[in-house]
Chains A and B, each alone.
Chain A
Amino acid sequence: MSSSAAMPSTRRSSVRFASTAWQLAFTRALIHVILILIAIVEAFPLVWMILTSLKDTHEIFNTVLPTHIRWDNFPRVWFAMNFPLHLANSLYVTGLTVALVVGLATPAAYAFARYRFPGREVVFYAFIGVMMIPPQAILIPMFQFLKSLHMLNSLTGLALSFVGGGTAFAVFLMRTFFLSLPRELGDAALIDGCDDFQVFWHVYLPLARPGIAAVVIIQSLYTWNEFMFSSTFLISPDIKTVQSAVFQAVGQYATDYSALCSGLIIALIPVILVYLVLQRQFISGLTAGALKG
């Protein structure tokens, strides 16, 4: 579209503005203004958090920008709140949960997609049903279950508590993915003398990587960010995950907002880093998960 020539005015140009290049430019500018205002609203809490984390404790409430940038809030909180330990705890729970979920869900999703067998529909609907169970519904029994296994206050126990819901969801998501892969590949491999397990392992598993990646992203983020189970099932301070540890520290720091904001930032950094590196996969994985789930 040429910017110099006036746009041909619409047929009904009576009272209505003709859509000229000027009007178009104005509309665009207006849209950008709205979008920038929204960006400011969305970013404000995060910017405030970063600025506050760099302030001296004395000037938290007095200035907008820190007069002297104080990086020492970070080491102070890093050691006082024992972050290395909590980050390691979160990493362990997340890693174990993701490994268990992927390990359990991938073969199951594959079988639902590839085989016809009696009772397939019923079993699959049972899986979907499990997916709809809200975590509150199993909170108390899970607490008792872990207690009876002597796995209360244990990171492995916490990971186990996530595996049921996570697996159901991952089966649902990955079944759709396996359904999109051509049947003929497996049939050809069967004719070549592969058995069912070789077909799964050598033919379909390598092709399923994008599906597995989506599950890994969704499950990692969910597990890393999970709050209710982790703050209920983990009791002693040393064993807490990042989320529950930060929550517990709040009372102790009260209005020491510099310390609190530094703590929140440290807790956020792992997720933000992964997000910045894997932005596309993150956004598409999360939204795909929501749309299919």
Chain B
Amino acid sequence: MVMAEPRKNPPLALRSLVVPAIFIGPAALALVLLMAVPIADAVILSFQNWNGMKPPTWAGFGNYIRLTQDATFFRAIWQTAYFTICTAILQTIIPLLIASLLNSGIRGSSIYRTLYFMPVIISLAISGLLWAMLFEPNFGPINTVLRAVHLGAFTQLWLASSATVMPSVIIVSVWQSLGFYLVIFFAALQAVPQELYEAAKIDGANAWHRFFNVTVPTIRPVIVIVIVLNTINGIKVFDQIWVMTAGGPDYASATLGTYLYSIAFGAMGASNSRLGYAAAIAIVILLLSLVVSMIQIRLGRGRDIDSQIEK
């Protein structure tokens, strides 16, 4: 092999910046152009009035003040919170319980997991379209089945009634995400040392006690992650609701995501699309997401400290 000629390196300090800059530069540029600039634009736009055609005019805090007087906005906030809290609870408890059943040493657990995971890979839009058919009140299969088994009294208007639309939307979310959170919990459960269960058994703990006193405390960090993931997804919820109800009937399933969308793009062609106002809602969603993410980081740090103390 030919000896490499001694390379003429620039001074170390400079060199230590140049190489990383070459590696990171393109990605950083993409992030600035495609995320940082749009976010800055959104913030600026939230202080403007703009219909997308004429040049925007400054509005000061006008959009935000109008938000505080907008009953539909508060309804959307309430429904976003409702969706987020319900899904965060149900989509933590149900997958955790089922994962525990799968982890009880029964046969075929991988078959069940594969099956349960199927809905996860389906897009939110497609599952929304599918469930819109399932929920159809007159000839949709859910009501048809209920009538067939003489439970006609339990038939609902589902998506078409303001009383049942939110629970219906939540059912779809639980159905679709079950396999995802279940797989996360299952992996965590597999890592729980078997001796802990045996010790608990010897102490006479029944299945419930073992679940609450061994399983839950041991995998608590994963439970926290799942709750946070659910919360972040809940704040952003849009696709499935937009596809199924577009926020209706009469805003009964409007969330921050669908309300923003219907203001900015829902009235396409109509002259009064209020982009500044929609941007203000976007900023609210952004801030809520950031707060939850901060909490997540905090919790993550706390966890690291915990595990260090235990050692």
* A10 on interface, CB distance cutoff 8 Å: yes
A79: chain B residues within 8 A (beta carbon): none
Tell me the bound Cα distance from A254 to B122 in angstroms. 22
Stretch at the interface among A39-47, A66-74, A208-216: A39-47
Known: A161-B34, A164-B35, A286-B120. A48 touches B141 (CB 8 A): yes
Tell me the bound Cα distance from A46 to B175 in angstroms. 12
Question: Are A38 and B289 within 8 A (Cβ)?
Answer: no
Question: Are B204 and A12 within 8 A (Cβ)?
Answer: yes
What is the chain A residue whose CB lies nearest that of B134? A45
Provide the main secondary structure of the chain A interface: helix
Question: Are A257 and B16 within 8 A (Cβ)?
Answer: no
Known: A164-B34, A167-B27, A291-B225. A268 touches B285 (CB 8 A): no
Known: A232-B265, A243-B123, A271-B121. A117 touches B17 (CB 8 A): yes
B131: chain A residues within 8 A (beta carbon): 45
Question: Are B27 and A108 within 8 A (Cβ)?
Answer: yes
Tell me the bound Cα distance from A225 to B123 in angstroms. 5
Known: A48-B134, A145-B38, A287-B183. A34 touches B101 (CB 8 A): yes
Stretch at the interface among A81-89, A179-187, A275-283: A275-283
> Interface 1/0s, chain B 119-158, versus A by CB < 8 A?
1111111110111111000010100100000000000000
B239: chain A residues within 8 A (beta carbon): 227-228
B187: chain A residues within 8 A (beta carbon): 287
* A168 on interface, CB distance cutoff 8 Å: yes
Q: Which of A107, A163, A264 contacts B23 (CB 8 A)?
A: A107
Q: How many residues of A contact B (CB 8 A)?
A: 91
Question: Are B37 and A127 within 8 A (Cβ)?
Answer: no
A161: chain B residues within 8 A (beta carbon): 34
B residues 15-73 touching A (CB-CB < 8 Å)? 16-17, 19-20, 22-24, 26-28, 30-31, 33-39, 41-42, 45, 52
Question: Are B133 and A257 within 8 A (Cβ)?
Answer: yes
Tell me the bound Cα distance from A133 to B127 in angstroms. 25
What is the chain B residue whose CB lies nearest that of A104? B27
B33: chain A residues within 8 A (beta carbon): 164
* B89 on interface, CB distance cutoff 8 Å: no
Q: Which of A49, A140, A261, A286 contacts B278 (CB 8 A)?
A: A140
10 new A-B contacts at CB < 8 Å, known A31-B104, A136-B282, A145-B37: A42-B115, A45-B175, A60-B139, A108-B28, A116-B16, A120-B20, A136-B257, A140-B45, A164-B33, A260-B133
